[in-house]
Chain A
Amino acid sequence: MSCPRDSELALYAGGELKGRRRTWTDGHVRECQPCAKKVGEFHVVRSAVASSAVTIPAGLRAGIRVSVLDRIALDDGGPASRNPLLAGILWACAPLALLAGVAAVWDLLTSEPEMPPLRMAGIAAEVPEGALLLSRQLNTVPPESPGRADSLDEAFGALDSGELIFVEAGEGPGVLAQLRIQTADASIEIHWLID
């Protein structure tokens, strides 16, 4: 009785061999010590691969989510706007949108303390304890009467260790602003609309 090829034993060890071929290999491996040894080694290979998994580092995890949402916010359309005509129109309007965005950012950065009311619209990434309190505070009311903070100072009142990283405007029915807060442990991103 000839031994199965290594490629078959590799599949046998992983359970990918089916039917008569599997039955035959079952019987063969029970009687053939060298093949049984190889099957054992392929089991080790499988276990080694399974145990080689790398968990995503916590810091990286927060960063990835924020980066993804950043890139999506800067994207030109969104999931439902793949229409070529619409895409063309959007491209044509891009310079105006860019100018409006720059103006809005400039306004945001220079208009304190007359900061427009804030309305929390999204949270991303790991949320530190203080920020979680803040987010709940701003979101415990239904969307019909959204929670508000009258100024950035008030919004940051709940975050004693928060540091403002950037503010930028994006597209939307109003002006969508993004704010990222970085603490020692994590970062959060807040999106809000300026009415």
Chain B
Amino acid sequence: MSTFIGMRSEVSLVQWMSDGASDHPGPDAVRGFVVAAKAGDVAAFGYIVELHESRVFRTARAILGSDSDAEDAVQEVFVRAYRYLARFDESRELAPWLYRITANVCRDLAKNRRRHHGVSIESLHLASSQSGPFESLARQEQRELIREAIARLPYKEGAAITLRDLEGLTTREVAKALGTTEATVRSQISSARAKLRKYILRIERRTS
């Protein structure tokens, strides 16, 4: 009779489901799934995908600017993660490693598709708005504009500000994810914020 290497984590997953647990499991549990997945356990890896796909999608969506591109990115991130899982040290946290893969995948997608080349944040269409943006940025319309503006930033700036201000990583973590120095990240963040501020001010001038 054949055996299936995924059975161990399958039992864990079923146990977790049977217990009615819905919270994110602790780092030890995640580590256990990483170990099982490294041994080729696809079910365990499926669980890892389930735990991390939201944040990977959120990050890719912010950098790339569309649901469909983000969907492609998420798939590619987890396929690459599975492929290179053997090189991952399970004593470390998984999320920073996934952020790094996400940044690389988004860079490749942005480069290959050349989506944003020649379209700068300055040339972005400004939607009409009835009130000043600094008073009403919480509104959906403004959120859409900001999303669009982030996606129009140069890739490195968009990735840096997404990881820092949207995902809440420290500058050191952002630097690791992007494979660069903290000083470079600070420069990219600063430049991105300056561009976004100018963009918002343009909206304000347009609407006042």
Say whether A75 faces chain B, with CB atoms less than 8 Å apart: yes
Binds A, one of B7-15, B24-32, B117-125: B7-15
Residue in B closest to A142 when the chains form the complex, CB atoms: B11
Q: Is the CB of B53 within 8 A of A7?
A: no
Residue in B closest to A194 when the chains form the complex, CB atoms: B2
Give the distance to chain B from A183, nearest Cβ to Cβ, in Å: 18
Say whether B177 faces chain A, with CB atoms less than 8 Å apart: no
Q: Is the CB of A136 within 8 A of B142?
A: no
Say whether B98 faces chain A, with CB atoms less than 8 Å apart: no
Chain A 116-139, CB within 8 Å of chain B: the 1/0 string?
A: 000111111001000010011001
Q: Is the CB of A46 within 8 A of B39?
A: no
- How extensive is the interface on chain A, given as a class? 35 or more
Q: Is the CB of A79 within 8 A of B134?
A: no
Binds B, one of A9-17, A23-31, A94-102, A160-168: A9-17
* Residues in B whose Cβ lies below 8 Å from that of A84: none
Please report the total number of B residues contacting A with Cβ < 8 Å.
Answer: 67
Say whether B110 faces chain A, with CB atoms less than 8 Å apart: no
Binds B, one of A52-60, A105-113, A149-157: A52-60
Q: In the complex the two chains form, what is the Cα distance from A50 to B161 in whole Å?
A: 10
Q: Is the CB of A16 within 8 A of B4?
A: no
- Complex partner residue of B165 from A46, A80, A123, A127, CB under 8 angstroms: A46
Say whether B186 faces chain A, with CB atoms less than 8 Å apart: yes
Q: Is the CB of A13 within 8 A of B146?
A: no
- Complex partner residue of A48 from B50, B86, B200, CB under 8 angstroms: B200
Q: In the complex the two chains form, what is the Cα distance from A122 to B42 in whole Å?
A: 8
Complex interface residues of chain B between 13 and 66 (CB less than 8 A to chain A): 13-14, 17-18, 37-40, 42-43, 45-46, 49-50, 53-54, 57-58, 61-62
- Complex partner residue of B189 from A11, A57, A75, CB under 8 angstroms: A11
* Residues in B whose Cβ lies below 8 Å from that of A14: 164-165, 189, 193
- Complex partner residue of B71 from A45, A64, A69, CB under 8 angstroms: A64
Say whether B196 faces chain A, with CB atoms less than 8 Å apart: yes
* Residues in B whose Cβ lies below 8 Å from that of A10: 189-190, 193-194, 197
Residue in A closest to B66 when the chains form the complex, CB atoms: A54
Chain A 16-45, CB within 8 Å of chain B: the 1/0 string?
A: 100000000000000000000010011011
Which 10 residue pairs across A and B have the least CB separation, nearest first?
Answer: A174-B2, A122-B43, A79-B85, A10-B193, A49-B165, A56-B57, A143-B7, A7-B190, A124-B46, A139-B14
6 A-B pairs whose Cβ atoms sit less than 8 Å apart in the complex: A7-B190, A10-B194, A64-B49, A65-B53, A122-B46, A139-B11
